[in-house]
Every structure is written in C-alpha cells, then in structure tokens.
Chain A
C-alpha cells in the first residue's frame, strides 16, 4: 500500500476511521484503501463508492471449542513432525540385503510416511472446520457473454486487421500460403517412416525349417518319441538355434502332445504326426497369447487370455471363444538319431489374423 513515487500523500486519517495498527505517514487510510482497490470491475459486493465492510470475521464464534481444537491440532502436527523424523531415521537405519529386510524397511518407511501425512491432513481439517470462523459469503456471477458493444468492437478490429493484412483481397497470396502449409504439415509424418521395416511377407513364416530339432524350452535338450512316451503328456518346444531369440520364439514356439493310439483324427494331418505325437503352434490365433493350457482328460487346449478353446485330437479346431481359426499344425518327424525334428515350416501363418493374411 505504500506509494514510493508520491512520498507526500494525503494527510493523516480523520479520527473516526477504523482503527488500524501502525501506518507509514503518507499511506492512505484502510477504508479509503478498500475503496481504491475497488469493486468497479464487479468482482465483489456493492458499487465502488462505499467503503466495503469487513468480509471475514477475525475470530471463531465458539472460542472455547477453538481452544480445544487448537490443542488437538497442535498435538497432531507434533505427531507428524515425529513421524517425518522417524521416516528419515528408518531410511538411514534400515539397510537392504534380503527380502525380509525390504519388508521391514517398507513397513517402517511407509508407516512413518502415512502417519506424517495423515496427522497433517486431520490437523488441517480440524483447523479449518473448528478454528477458522464459519463463513458463508456470496459472490455475484456475471453473464459470460460480453456485451454487444464489446463484441462489435472486436468484430470491427478483426475486420480492419483482415483488410489491412490484404489476406482477403489478394487471393494469390492467400492460396500460395495455404499451399505452402500442406507439405510442411505432411513432412513430420513422413519423418516417422523409419520407425520400423515394412511388414512384407514376414508374418507368413516362422524360423522352422526342415530338419530343425525341437528343443524342450528351458532345458534346451532335444526329445525323442521314446522319451515323450506317456499319453497325456505335453511340453513346450522351441526351434534349435533360436533359444535366445525372442522375436523368433514369438512366432515359432510350439507344444507337443502325446495321445493314446486311435485318438488323433482328421482334420489333424496324420502325416505330420509321429507315434501319436502332434505338434501345434503355441501362439493363439486370437491375439497371440501362448495357448498352452492343456486338459489331459478333455483333450482341450485352452488359452488363458480370452478362453479360446481348441480340440487337440482334431486339428486344434476352435470349440469356444473368440479365436477365428485352429492352431496351425507343425509337420514333425524324427531324424537319424531318433529326435523329433520339423519337416518344414508351418503351412500357414501362425498367430493373430491380419489384413494380408487372406
């Protein structure tokens, strides 16, 4: 409220002005100050000429309750202080070297932090509700639409500027400018081209090739029909040489299932099986989750993501769920050492459908 550019302002206030603590000589009295700040822009009550009455009471109505509340709030704030100190102490004091130590540290740090914040929150709430005086004030709204004169003035300014800019009057300028913005807008999109290779025919094939051994996932050892001999058996297999290639595995991972004699039937391609062992792609034809849940009793392969169900003895035809086509079957046979190998790649694309699949 001081006015350094006018050190010799109006004289001291009249005696009946509202009492105020010290003022620097020269500053206007508070009553006048209020009106100077003014309500002319309509942000408060009444018109600008009258001195505004005090908005907020200085003290709460129930002083006794406020005193009690003050004690409670102070205690809560002290609790919060202690909890925050506790947090720092827990951080410094508790080292991490095992899962148990992490448990203890998390418990200590978390509890102290929770107490610190909760005490602050409860204290602040009690402060607002019981120590600050209750008020209910009213503020006027004003129509959001500007008055017609203002709108007209804006329209005039806009029109004048448009005319002065010659934008409307000179179509050649206008059109060439618009033409210039088009490639400028397209260029950033073009810049994204190298985000990835074009799909081409990549999705049609996996890495399986003739003679490639089926390795048990995890152990990465080959398996023979003599070993995989128990009816009802199932195991995940991956192509030899690609154990550490997640991209290859994402399309080539398969499962082999051993059946009792006589169970396998068309549309399973019998030429592609060995000793009642059939190999299906593990990549679900819905959206690509590993479809690996094999029920030995019902011979169903269930994908746990969206419950697509495939009939394993009958070419993995779809029995239920959103998958649109059966799991592709990998043609397998045995090599000279008796281990299971692929005869070729899958005869159709594996995994989810896509536009070019056909």
Chain B
C-alpha cells in the first residue's frame, strides 16, 4: 500500500468513523471554483484579517491598555523624561525595545489599511457585476455589516497607542457625540466614563478591539464564506458558462494551491511595506494631550470621508427653546455614512422592486450592460471621493499650493456637481460601449485587409466575432418586462403592484434603470442605426461577410422594448 492509501485508511478512516465525512469532503474537494482576478479581491481582505489576528496577538503580549501616567526612559531618546500614558509608553517599548516589535506593529497597521481597501474594492466589484442579486442578498448585507465593523475596528485600533494624532481623533469623536440631540451628553459621559479624556477609554476600546469586534468578524466571515460555498461562486459571462453551471478548476488541489499562494503574496506585500515604508510613527507625534494639535492631522484613510464631511459643512446651528441642535456636526457625521451604508444595504431590494426581477442570477453582469446601475455606482464613488479629498485638504493646499479656503469652496460645489456629472458621463460611456458591442456583433471585427471591388470601390473586410467573444458579447439576460409596464395594452387593469402613484413611479424608474442598447436593435430609440428612420441600415456595399444579419431592422420606436 502506498503512503497515501495508508494515511487515508488510517487517519482518514479514524476521522470518518467518528464524523461520517467521506462524502462531504469529496464533494468539497471536487467543488469547482471559477477563475477571474476580480474574484480574489475578497481574499485580500480575508488574508489581511488573518494577518491582523496573528500580528495583533503578538502585540497584545507587550501592550498595556492603561492611561496611568508614567515617565519615559526607553531607547527613544528625544522623549526621555516626558510624561505619557502607559499605553503610549508600551507602544514605544514595542517599537524600540522589542525585537521584531516595530515590524509587527507596522505589518499590523498596513494590514488594517489593506483590509479596508480590499473590502472597498471587493464591494465595488460585487456591486458593478450585480453579484448581490438573488440568491446572494444576505451575503451582501453580511458584507456591509463587516465593512462597518472593519471601519470601527481600525478606528479603535489606531486610537489605542494614545498618541497625539489618534487622541485628537477621539476628541473629535467626543465632540460629535456631544452634538447628538437629547442623548449626546449621556453617550459621551458613558463612553469616556465622565469628561474627556478620563482614564477608561483606552481600556474600553482595547477590549472592543481585541475581543468583541474580532469575534463578530470571525463569525460573520465564516457565515459569509459558508454561504458563498453553499450557493457556489458566480462566474463571468463566457463561452460554456451558463446560469446553471460552474466552470473552472476543482478546489483540491487547484484552488487550495492558488489561494495558498495568494496568502503568501498578501503576507509578502505587507512585509515589504513594513520594511520599506514607515507607518504610524507615534514617537514623532508625541503622547496625547488635549492642549496640543499638529497641522495636517488626519485619521487613517478609511475615516477620511467623515473628516472631509466635517470640514466641508458650513456652521449651521439652531439654538431653540434652551437647546442647541448642532447641524454642523450632526449632518456631516450621519448623512454621508448613513446614505452610503443604508443605500448599499437596501439596493438589492430596491433594484428587485424596480425591475421585478426575481430570478436567480449566477452569471455576473458586464458593467456596461447595466448602464444605470454602473452610473449610480460611479456617482457614489465620486461623492465619497470628494469628501475623501476634502479630508486631506490642508495637506493638498500645502503641497499643491492652493489656497486653503479655496479647497473647501471647491469641494462644496463638487459634492453636488461631481456625482451628477459622473452619473451622466458614465451612463453615456456604458451606452456607447454597448453600441460598440452591437456593432461588433452585427458587422464583425475589422481585419484591416482592404479589398477593391470590381466597381473600383475600396472596402475593409470584416470577419465574424469568434465563439468566445460572441459568448461574452451576447451574455445578457434582460430583466423580464414589468407587468402592466410600457408594453401593456391600455384597456387592461394594471396589476396591484403597478397601481397608483407608486406604480407610476415604479414604471418610470424601471424605464431608467433598464435603459440599455438592445441586442436585436429594437426599441428605446437605440435601434439599429436609423433611430426610427427607414429600415435602420444605410446603404451598404454588398457581399461583406458580417457578423450577423441585421434582423428586421425596423428600428421603430413604437415597438415594445426588450431593454
């Protein structure tokens, strides 16, 4: 018997006797995972999280989560004799007096940045490809909760060393809490154990940071991955890939090897960054004191958009009936984050309601084939991005020599104009790309070979799109037409869901959301080339091998649109 067989019989048999795992593991091992680089973005987040756990555990062996004041006498001489909290002193100790300590601290912080950055791009990939649609709505919601937890986890984590920069962040947190009507002062006093800074905030943040949120994240990540395994991963449109299959390579040994390699890549990238790029040099900031502040104080990048929203807002406040409502703090703190998170959470259900599409979706959309959704996504990114840039406006003003107030003034206009422009431009680009695809399908790919016809005219030869390309170009499943929608006859009573004002809103939104260049060249004014005139085709030279016959080419606007 070979070693493998011996192992399988021995250890494998021992386990199987107790857990009945042979069939389940075989299924798992043979599970197919589709291949596309965008499918690995979530793994970046996953492996960053594991690295955070490993390096974080290392740090807990030396870190003291205490605000008791001590006098420093360690290896970093410029701070000799300075009074600081034990939390800060222990972080200096890790950095300068524990071998590998600085490396682990830096890997931990870079991993936190990469974790959130990866979640962002992963979330965007899911959005733009429509992978949040049925049956994956719950996984999408889990993802949004994890995103929020990751933001909080990072905020609490970088506040633990109690340095001047992060302490200022805590001060701002206190100021924002105070602005909440009715309960603000209570929330602030309860969180800080009294007035700011108190002496319990660091130990409290510590236990939330090392136990509560990691525990929640571990549970949610497990659920997220299990659901993804159970429902099988989506796949990109391509030849042979349908809504009822998965094409790729099996988990064992292929996916395991690839994902293992990717883990090492993640660790390598983080180690490289931590060797050559200094991050969070708390010894330069100095210990926190509420008396002092540095120019160019920013939170870590993922809180940047909150910082920007605080900077952009004018000084609106109401003093009424003996109470103050600080709109200048409330709106920036709640509105952008609330809009984005709530909008994201509700989006799958909103889209489902508008389109009436309740089918299962296992093939991803190409973003160009859903122009309105893609445009909304780009508008949101622009909104987020303007706030993000405004959060760094003093650094930008200093380094790019722009007047400081001007940056804020520009941002105040850009926050409205930017998303609108982004929506419009993105939608036009998507529709244009769709027309290009349609052109390719109908007329084939240009070969660059010029031929002269007997009549003396020069033409360029085209050849049909090959099978793989055709599969990609044609991979679109237009949503089912809404009952009682634009194609209903006038005498019919519209169904319940389409009645009344809400029904009209839904109809109108459906038209906008499903606006697209149809493959068969009909409807919505995008048909063929004629936009409703003639047969849709200008006089073309004959005998050109083209990709596909142009169909009826009626291009009639009145025809019902399979958008």
A interface residue numbers (CB < 8 A to B): 1-2, 21-24, 37-38, 41, 43-44, 55-56, 91, 94-99, 102, 105-107, 109-111, 113-114, 117-118, 120-121, 124-125, 127-128, 132, 135-141, 143-144, 192, 195-199, 202-203, 217, 236, 238, 244, 246-247, 249-251, 253, 282-283, 286-290, 292-293, 304-308, 318, 320-325, 351-358
Contact with A along B244-279 (1 / 0, CB 8 A): 111111100110011011111101100110111000
B3 smallest CB distance to A (angstroms): 11
Check A287–B329 contact: CB distance below 8 A: yes
With A118-B268, A121-B268, A199-B186 as given contacts, are A144 and B75 in contact (CB-CB < 8 Å)? no
A186 smallest CB distance to B (angstroms): 17
B271 smallest CB distance to A (angstroms): 4
Most chain A CB within 10 A, of B98, B182, B184, is at B184
A324 smallest CB distance to B (angstroms): 4
Check A37–B23 contact: CB distance below 8 A: yes
Check B264–A247 contact: CB distance below 8 A: no
Check A109–B247 contact: CB distance below 8 A: no
- Cα-based distance from A139 to B232 in the complex (angstroms): 10
Interface: B495 (CB within 8 A): no
Check A109–B103 contact: CB distance below 8 A: yes
Contact partner of B32 (CB less than 8 A), chosen from A109, A137, A282, is A137
16 contacts between A and B (CB under 8 A): A38-B23, A55-B250, A91-B100, A98-B75, A111-B275, A124-B260, A132-B254, A144-B231, A199-B186, A203-B178, A203-B185, A287-B179, A304-B297, A318-B315, A352-B179, A355-B181
Interface: B1 (CB within 8 A): yes
With A114-B275, A128-B258, A246-B290 as given contacts, are A352 and B100 in contact (CB-CB < 8 Å)? no
Contact partner of B240 (CB less than 8 A), chosen from A95, A135, A138, A320, is A138
Most chain A CB within 10 A, of B168, B276, B328, is at B328
Contact with A along B314-340 (1 / 0, CB 8 A): 111101001111101100100000000
Contact with A along B24-35 (1 / 0, CB 8 A): 001100111000
Check B75–A355 contact: CB distance below 8 A: no
Check B315–A141 contact: CB distance below 8 A: no
Closest to B244 in A: A141
Chain B residue contacts of A307, Cβ below 8 A = 311, 393-394, 404-405, 408
Check A322–B311 contact: CB distance below 8 A: yes
Chain B residue contacts of A41, Cβ below 8 A = 23, 27
Check A195–B188 contact: CB distance below 8 A: no
Interface: B211 (CB within 8 A): no
B206 smallest CB distance to A (angstroms): 15
Closest to B408 in A: A307
B interface residue numbers (CB < 8 A to A): 1-2, 5, 8-9, 13, 22-23, 26-27, 30-32, 69, 75-77, 83, 95-100, 102-103, 106, 135, 168, 171-172, 174-176, 178-186, 188-198, 231-232, 240, 243-250, 253-254, 257-258, 260-265, 267-268, 271-272, 274-276, 289-297, 307, 310-311, 313-317, 319, 322-326, 328-329, 332, 360, 362, 393-394, 404-405, 408
With A199-B186, A247-B198 as given contacts, are A289 and B250 in contact (CB-CB < 8 Å)? no
Check A199–B326 contact: CB distance below 8 A: no
Check B95–A121 contact: CB distance below 8 A: no
- Cα-based distance from A250 to B197 in the complex (angstroms): 7
Main secondary structure on A side of the interface with B: loop
With A2-B9, A292-B293 as given contacts, are A356 and B32 in contact (CB-CB < 8 Å)? no
Check A355–B317 contact: CB distance below 8 A: no
- Assuming A1-B9, A106-B275, A203-B195, what are 4 further A-B pairs, CB within 8 angstroms? A96-B98, A107-B275, A355-B181, A356-B322
For the complex of A and B, list the 9 residue pairs with the smallest distance between their C-beta atoms, beginning with the closest.
A287-B175, A110-B275, A124-B261, A121-B264, A117-B268, A324-B317, A250-B290, A199-B185, A352-B175
Check A355–B185 contact: CB distance below 8 A: yes
Closest to B296 in A: A304
- Cα-based distance from A39 to B276 in the complex (angstroms): 53
Check B317–A325 contact: CB distance below 8 A: yes
Chain A residue contacts of B254, Cβ below 8 A = 128, 132, 135
With A250-B195, A304-B297, A353-B326 as given contacts, are A139 and B245 in contact (CB-CB < 8 Å)? yes
Check A136–B329 contact: CB distance below 8 A: no
Check B322–A198 contact: CB distance below 8 A: no
- Cα-based distance from A287 to B310 in the complex (angstroms): 9
Contact partner of B178 (CB less than 8 A), chosen from A97, A143, A353, is A353
Chain B residue contacts of A43, Cβ below 8 A = 26-27, 30
Check A357–B324 contact: CB distance below 8 A: yes
Chain B residue contacts of A253, Cβ below 8 A = 290-291
Chain A residue contacts of B13, Cβ below 8 A = 2
- Cα-based distance from A124 to B231 in the complex (angstroms): 28
With A43-B30, A203-B185 as given contacts, are A293 and B196 in contact (CB-CB < 8 Å)? no
- Cα-based distance from A98 to B244 in the complex (angstroms): 63
Check A198–B175 contact: CB distance below 8 A: no
- Cα-based distance from A308 to B328 in the complex (angstroms): 12
Check B297–A324 contact: CB distance below 8 A: no
- Cα-based distance from A139 to B313 in the complex (angstroms): 54
Check B360–A289 contact: CB distance below 8 A: no
Check B271–A113 contact: CB distance below 8 A: yes
Check B194–A197 contact: CB distance below 8 A: yes
